[in-house]
Amino acid sequence: MRFADVLGHDAAIERLRRAAATQRLAGAYLLTGPAGVGKRLLADAFAARILCAAPRDDDACGTCAQCTRVAAGTHPELRLLERDEERRDIRIEQIRELSRWLALQPLMAERKVAIVDGAHCLSEPAQNALLKTLEEPPPSAVLLLTTPAAALLLPTVRSRCQRVRLDPLPPESVARVLAARGVAPEQATLLAAEAEGSPGRALASSGDEEVRARDAMVGALRTLRTLDAAALSTLAQDLARGPADGALAAAAAWYRDVLETRLTGDPPRRHPGAVAAVRAAADRSRAECTLRQLELVCDTINALDRNANRILAIETMLLGLRALERDDSPRQGPA
């Protein structure tokens, strides 16, 4: 991965290029931005640039012995730390081991780089253990932390990192990423509109299973008022076991379309094939109610990002969405 391979995020890349070119590297960087926006890709590209033996145009060359090892995942001065799949957090033992490793002199390069992907998954004791390294970073060490939001980390940790904020990308850019991965242009435009500026999220929702989960979610939202608790519970379990992120993004996109159609009268941008259904939903609920439903979906997305219990979070959301819809009295004339 090189800077040249990262789509968008020009300002952030320029800043990191300059830091590497002038050898004024901070001991720790905190890359923030929504899930799937490209934080990990940028961290990988920055790590490659730092370790490259023959950088060209302020970017990793991609061909030297260092770059080859980085690409193969075998560079001895590069470590990746992330949450074990079966665990809810990154353990303190993992951080202690990483800190010991960072304190050793690099042998193969000028620097040692550690990427902590999903730093918000660090347990509080793990964050406190990391603090010691952040307070007195070994001169050769560079730590790259990624997280959806800086506020998810302890203030003491985030205040010792240089922040690099990645903003959502425009839909055209997201569609280009999808098209480059072989997604049909029409599907790419649809997914990009739903992805809220996150190519990773759009890519994650382009598979067959993901499409099924999104269809199940949107189908349920269209008939939510009539579904009983047992049906919602079954749906929550199905979604929680599968690709829930895409389904929740689809739910958020649905309510955004309903809200926009309700307020502007325009046809839905994200569901061009469901004009009648979106208009019907817009006609039968007040904007305040739809807005609260959208907030509930976004809160649930955030909760899952923080590793909440998936079934419980999704079932609670579905029940809440239905309660809002049932409580909302039919619209009387223009409102």
- With respect to Zn ion, which residue has the nearer C-beta, 61 or 308? 61
C-beta neighbour count of 81 within 10 angstroms: 21
274 binds Zn ion (CB under 5 A): no
Angle at 122 between CA 104 and CA 303, to 5 degrees: 155
What values do phi and psi take at 283, rounded to 5? -70, -30
Angle at 198 between CA 196 and CA 203, to 5 degrees: 115
Strand partners, 79: 114
- With respect to Zn ion, which residue has the nearer C-beta, 40 or 75? 75
> 7, 15, 26, 64: which one contacts Zn ion (CB under 5 A)?
64
One character per residue 2-41, x = contact with Zn ion (rule: CB under 5 A): ----------------------------------------
What are the strands of the beta sheet with 112-116, ordered from one edge? Answer: 78-81, 112-116, 141-147, 28-32, 162-165
Residue 78 CB, nearest approach to Zn ion (Å): 13
Residue 297 CB, nearest approach to Zn ion (Å): 44
Q: Which of residues 286-325 bind Zn ion (CB under 5 A)?
A: none
Ramachandran bin of 257, using left for φ above 0, alpha for ψ from -120 to 50, beta for the remaining angles: alpha
- With respect to Zn ion, which residue has the nearer C-beta, 25 or 252? 25
Residue 70 CB, nearest approach to Zn ion (Å): 8
- With respect to Zn ion, which residue has the nearer C-beta, 19 or 161? 19
Residues with Cβ within 8 Å of 158's Cβ and at least 6 positions away in sequence, in order, are 30, 150, 151
109 binds Zn ion (CB under 5 A): no
Q: Is 105 exposed, middle or buried (0-12, 13-18, 19+ CB in 10 A)?
A: exposed
- With respect to Zn ion, which residue has the nearer C-beta, 68 or 223? 68
> 5, 7, 26, 61: which one contacts Zn ion (CB under 5 A)?
61
67 binds Zn ion (CB under 5 A): yes
The one-letter amino acid code at 269 reads R
- With respect to Zn ion, which residue has the nearer C-beta, 59 or 194? 59
50 binds Zn ion (CB under 5 A): no
Q: Cα separation of 330 and 131, whole Å?
A: 54
52 binds Zn ion (CB under 5 A): yes
Q: Which residues would be at the binding site for Zn ion (CB under 5 A)?
A: 52, 60-61, 64, 67
